[in-house]
Amino acid sequence: MTKITIAIDGYSACGKSTLAKALASKLGYAYVDSGAMYRCVTLYALRKGVIKDHSFQENEILKLLDEIHLSFKFNTSTKSSETFLNGENVEKDIRQMVVSENVSKVSAIHDVRVKMIAIQRDLGKNRGIVMDGRDIGTNVFPDAELKLFMTADTDIRTQRRFDEFSSKGQHISFNDVKLNLIQRDHEDTHRKENPLTQAKDAIVLDNTDLTREQQLEYVIKLISDLTLNVE
């Protein structure tokens, strides 16, 4: 079977990771959540006290980069990929609201992106990978055989993220979640370093009214239509 690179970009809470994980499982591919990598940097900076009251000095973030070692491991029990920061499973910690409130600004730092992108490209050098993020199809893997750009109605995205927080015992108002998403959208699309944009050859996937099963079926058909011999 010919292995390909699948790049998934899009706005926050559009279900990029959910789709990417499902595709990786279906195809037997590796999965990498690039956003989790930036969240790890943000979490580490928060723990070190470098980020205070949603502000920080860029040079203080850069001093921490050599201390940060990232890895992804597949959990056979949950059948999902989990993120490790310096050997610690931080999959839950990096999803906290305080991380969400700061990650866009951290990910906009040039040297942070340079280091993360180098890691991402190394992980995908042999293809057979599904990676989601903000600039995967436009910058990390511009030659990916399949590029998707995901979007959804803002209120639908807010409800999804609100439900995610609630399921983890994080009680945050619907309005606060929505404001955070709107702010992240603005920061992601307006940052100087590799802003969130749709690659010219990306296929737009608006999943506002699609179930997880429907969007997975749709993308699997796209792959099949590319005559890439993917079962």
Three-state secondary structure string covering 106-173: HHCCHHHHHHHHHHHHHHCCCCCEEEEECCHHHHHCCCCCEEEEEECCHHHHHHHHHHHHHHCCCCCC
Cβ atoms of residues 181 and 13 within 8 Å = yes
pLDDT at 231: 47
Give the Å distances, CA to CA, from 21 to 18, 74, 143. 5, 11, 21
The torsion angles phi and psi of 206, rounded to 5 degrees, stand at: -95, 110
**Counted domains in the chain:** 1
pLDDT digits (tens, 9 = 90+) for 129-186: 999 999 999 999 999 999 999 999 999 999 999 998 899 888 899 999 999 999 999 9
Mean pLDDT within 46-56: 94
CATH number, domain at 189?
Answer: 3.40.50.300
Q: How confident is the model at residue 84 (pLDDT cuts 50, 70, 90)?
A: very high
Per-residue pLDDT for 226 more than 80? no
- Say if 230 falls within a structural domain: no
- Say if 33 falls within a structural domain: yes
Three-state SS for 54-108 is CECCHHHHHHHHHHCCEEEEEECCCCEEEEEECCEECCCHHHCHHHHHHHHHHHC
- Say if 133 falls within a structural domain: yes
Give the residue with greater pLDDT, 231 vs 48: 48
- Say if 120 falls within a structural domain: yes
- Say if 211 falls within a structural domain: yes
- Expressed as residue numbers, the domain containing 219 is 5-225
Mean pLDDT within 19-28: 90
Per-residue pLDDT for 78 more than 80? no
Mean pLDDT within 65-85: 85
Mean pLDDT within 74-82: 75
- Say if 231 falls within a structural domain: no
Per-residue pLDDT for 227 more than 80? no
Q: How many CB atoms lie within 10 A of CB 185?
A: 17
Average pLDDT of the residues of the chain: 91
H-run or E-run covering 206? strand 203-206
- Say if 218 falls within a structural domain: yes
Give the residue with greater pLDDT, 231 vs 114: 114
